[in-house]
């Protein structure tokens, strides 16, 4: 619920999470305005609306990854035309070939290159929330970026639950990406290795053209490994895909440093 109890010296008080989030945005607003990290997911549309309601100055940015669901890209283009879209210097396909392996939970070169840039020297508003994973439970409402000391994160809905997010969206009649209505709980890169086998299999079935592009890229990756004389346990692209989907490394399924 968007209302929560607080025990104070005066007894039990109720606070409104929306008011708290708006006050957080107003309290830390920098003179130049916020850099709002926008992914097009449910949390992003909430923080965008909260920033508007708070009447703070901000500019919103979306980092294209080249493996985004087409429906998500179209949603942002249609409903949030003012969001600045940034194309990466290298595509996911180039990164896989260069690194000689698909990205994994333990080797997330894709997030670093495709998603976590931007906002240098700025206060960056994110939709990060504690409930999303065990690793995020240690995050704070205001925190410094661990690899860019000039960047400060503001996480105004850190303490919101999924139910709060959806209640806010419905009460304010905020449009959201239709993939959620297809049963997707989170929306991000197609075949993201941070998902489990079930989620990756679902992605592969939902976006077969992108799966085929992965397979073509894996074949080029294997050719490059062989040309460099590197050992490989895979014989062909299908072997890589099976290993990638059905033998994911163990670990906490956190979705990345910032984005949903």
Q: Tell me whether residue 32 is in a domain.
A: yes
pLDDT at position 15: 65
137-162 average pLDDT score = 87
**Residue 200 located in a structural domain:** yes
Closest Cα partner for 152 from 5, 28, 17?
A: 28
Length reported for the chain: 260
Residue 252 inside a domain? The answer is no
Whichever domain contains 153, its CATH number is: 3.40.50.620
pLDDT at 117: 79
7/187: higher pLDDT: 187
80 inside domain: yes
* Domain containing residue 11: 3-246
In a domain, 139, yes or no: yes
What the block records as the tokens of 109 is: 């070169």
Q: What are phi and psi of 207, to 5 degrees?
A: -125, 70
Name 154's Cβ contacts closer than 8 Å, sequence gap at least 6: 24, 25, 28, 34, 123, 124, 125, 126, 141, 142
pLDDT of residue 228: 95
Which tens digit of pLDDT belongs to each residue from 1-37? 566 545 444 434 446 899 999 999 999 999 999 999 9
Note whether residue 63 is domain-resident.
Answer: yes
Q: Is the pLDDT confidence value at 250 over 60? A: no
Contact 30, 122 (CB under 8 A): yes
Write down the pTM of the prediction. 0.86
Give tens-digit pLDDT for 102-148: 999 888 898 888 887 788 999 999 999 987 766 667 778 889 887 78
Whether residue 131 is contained in a domain is answered as yes
pLDDT at residue 256 greater than cutoff 60: no
Per-residue pLDDT, 113: 86
Q: Is residue 191 part of a domain?
A: yes
Q: Residue 174 — left, alpha, or beta (φ > 0 → left; ψ -120 to 50 → alpha)?
A: beta
Is 50 exceeded by the pLDDT of residue 59? yes
Lowest mean pLDDT among 60-69, 109-118, 162-171, 213-222: 109-118
* Spatial distance between the Cα atoms of 186 and 103, rounded to a whole number of angstroms: 19
**What is the number of structural domains in the chain?**
1
Q: Quick check: 251 pLDDT over 60?
A: no
For the record, the structure tokens of 258 come out as 């910032």
Q: Which long-range contacts (CB under 8 A, 24 or more apart) does 239-243 make?
A: 240/102, 241/204, 241/211, 241/214, 241/215
- Please provide the average confidence, as pLDDT, over all residues in the chain: 88
53 within 8 A of 184, measured Cβ to Cβ: no
Which residues 6+ apart lie within 8 Å of 52 measured at CB?
A: none
Pick the more confident residue, 249 or 75.
75
Helices (H) and strands (E) in the chain, counts: 9, 8
């Amino acid at each position: 619920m968007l209302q929560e109890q607080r025990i104070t010296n005066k007894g039990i008080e109720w606070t409104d999470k929306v008011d708290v989030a708006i006050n957080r945005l107003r309290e830390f607003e920098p003179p130049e305005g916020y850099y709002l990290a926008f992914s097009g997911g449910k949390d992003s549309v909430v923080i965008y609306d909260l920033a508007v309601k708070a009447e703070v100055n901000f500019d919103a940015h979306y980092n294209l990854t080249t493996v985004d669901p087409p429906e998500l890209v179209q949603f942002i283009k249609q409903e949030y035309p003012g969001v600045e879209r940034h194309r990466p210097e290298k595509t996911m396909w180039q990164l896989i070939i260069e690194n000689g392996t698909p990205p994994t939970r333990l080797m997330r070169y894709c997030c670093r290159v495709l998603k976590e840039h931007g906002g240098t020297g700025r206060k960056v508003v994110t939709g990060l929330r504690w409930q999303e994973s065990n690793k995020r439970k240690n995050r704070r409402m205001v925190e410094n970026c661990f690899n860019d000391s000039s960047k400060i994160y503001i996480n105004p809905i850190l303490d919101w639950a999924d139910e709060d997010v959806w209640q806010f969206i419905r009460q304010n009649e905020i449009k959201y990406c239709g993939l959620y209505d297809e049963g997707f709980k989170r929306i991000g890169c197609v075949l993201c290795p941070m998902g489990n086998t079930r989620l990756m299999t679902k992605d592969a079935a939902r976006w077969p053209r992108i799966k085929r592009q992965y397979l073509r890229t894996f074949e080029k990756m294997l050719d490059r490994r062989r040309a460099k004389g590197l050992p490989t346990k895979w014989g062909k692209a299908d072997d890589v895909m099976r290993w990638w989907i059905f033998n994911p490394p163990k670990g906490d399924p956190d979705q990345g440093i910032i984005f949903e």
